[in-house]
Amino acid sequence: MSGAIHPADLAHCRQAIRSGSLSFHTASRVLPASIRDPALALYAFCRLVDDEVDEGRDKAAAVLALSERLDRVYAMAPRDAPEDRAFCAIVAQHRMPRALPEALLEGLAWDAAERRYDDFSGLCAYSARVASAVGAMMCVLMGVRDRHALARACDLGVAMQLTNIARDVGEDAAAGRLYLPLDWMEEAGLSAEAFLADPRASPELRVLVARLLAEARRLYLRAQSGVPRLPPGARVGIYAARFIYAAIGGALRRQGFDPITARASTGRLRKAALLGKSAGYAAGSFVMPQPATLYAPPLAETAFLVDAVAERDGTAPFWGAGRAGSVLRALAELRSRDPVAGQEGRRA
């Protein structure tokens, strides 16, 4: 299969992102077409993968089916669906390391198994899979295999996911989901089960949300130092993603760190202002000195993603190498939680 995305498939992916992810759609508009089009195809496939698991009645079967669809993509014989064909095209054109989409699949299997996270490191490991893996795939689309740039892209993915988790605490609790680190909750005197039974914006919860956003802010600042390592035409779009997602945290701060009463968001005018800010930062990136944070080692939880992409002695790792063992272990955990085929998932 050639690396060209069929125009009809691309149009389908563009519409899927326009209706499903306004923040990314806004940021993508300022990317050059050579990056924007494969990025839209990538995000559409990732969105499809997420929806298949999240909305499926049998989540274990959904993850297994997606694993088989990934097999077909890497065999260059995709399922006859626009997202699969488009993703297969970018895999072929950009030699996308299989370890990256498999990491995403592993994270979704953790989701389907209703895994909770004992500590912040566990939450970062989850965020690495469902968010940083996408950031690493974006680097591949840009032709970036520099280790430092990859580490900062993975920082951005974790920061964005932490922001999403902080914003969605109330919605997740209503669906029986909990992502806050359990040791943080214990330190704050919050019972996980009591909170899920009666989610309230208590002072203790607000402290945890503020703490989560503080960790996200630290990673946004680290991530920002890597943007000048990206192709010039991509910098405005990546700065925009960084500032727009961080602004969700700002809106949550203005709500008093209350994720229960209302869903924090950024309006169209605010997004437009942040696009202007992003353009200014991108223009300045040509003369900015490189901050020391650029050279910080990757988070321990994202290092495997950096290793999957980064050049070694001028040679990129084998693109077809995957992480099937990890995905199979995640599937085994999922099956052990819901062993009856066809049984409705606990969060369906």
Can you give the pTM of this predicted structure?
0.89
In tens, the pLDDT along 20-40 reads 565 566 666 777 888 888 988
Domain of 101? 7-337
Tell me if residue 298 falls in helix, strand or coil.
Answer: coil
C-alpha to C-alpha distance for 177 and 182, rounded to whole angstroms: 13
Asked if residue 102 is part of any domain, the answer here is: yes
Q: Which residues does residue 315 pair with via DSSP β-bridges, in sequence order?
A: 312
Closest to 115 measured CA to CA, from 209, 182, 19, 207: 182
In tens, the pLDDT along 209-219 reads 999 999 999 99
pLDDT at 284: 87
pLDDT at 306 over 60: yes
Asked if residue 64 is part of any domain, the answer here is: yes
Closest to 209 measured CA to CA, from 247, 162, 261, 161: 162
DSSP-assigned states of every residue in 140-169: HHTT---HHHHHHHHHHHHHHHHHHHHHTH
Q: Where are the alpha helices (DSSP H) in 95-146?
A: 99-112, 120-127, 133-141
C-alpha to C-alpha distance for 121 and 143, rounded to whole angstroms: 29
Asked if residue 303 is part of any domain, the answer here is: yes
Asked if residue 227 is part of any domain, the answer here is: yes
Question: Which of these ranges, 8-12, 279-283, 338-342, has the smallest mean pLDDT?
Answer: 338-342
pLDDT at 341 over 80: no
C-alpha to C-alpha distance for 53 and 55, rounded to whole angstroms: 6
In tens, the pLDDT along 93-147 reads 999 999 999 999 999 889 888 899 999 999 999 999 999 999 999 999 999 999 9
Residues in CB range of 56: below 8 A, 6 or more apart: 62, 345, 348
In tens, the pLDDT along 155-186 reads 999 999 999 999 999 999 999 999 999 999 99
Asked if residue 245 is part of any domain, the answer here is: yes
C-alpha to C-alpha distance for 265 and 72, rounded to whole angstroms: 38
Instruction: Check which CATH number belongs to the domain holding 320 and give it.
Output: 1.10.600.10
pLDDT at 83 over 70: yes
Say how many domains are in the chain.
1
Asked if residue 346 is part of any domain, the answer here is: no
Dihedral sign of CA atoms 33, 38, 44, 50 in order: negative
Asked if residue 188 is part of any domain, the answer here is: yes
Helix or strand holding residue 129 (H, E):
none
pLDDT at 185: 98
Q: Mean pLDDT over all residues of the chain?
A: 87
Q: What is the mean pLDDT of residues 227-254?
A: 93
Cα within 13 Å of Cα(20), Cβ side: 16
Asked if residue 162 is part of any domain, the answer here is: yes
Higher pLDDT, 331 or 159: 159
Closest to 144 measured CA to CA, from 46, 74, 228, 28: 228
C-alpha to C-alpha distance for 200 and 208, rounded to whole angstroms: 13
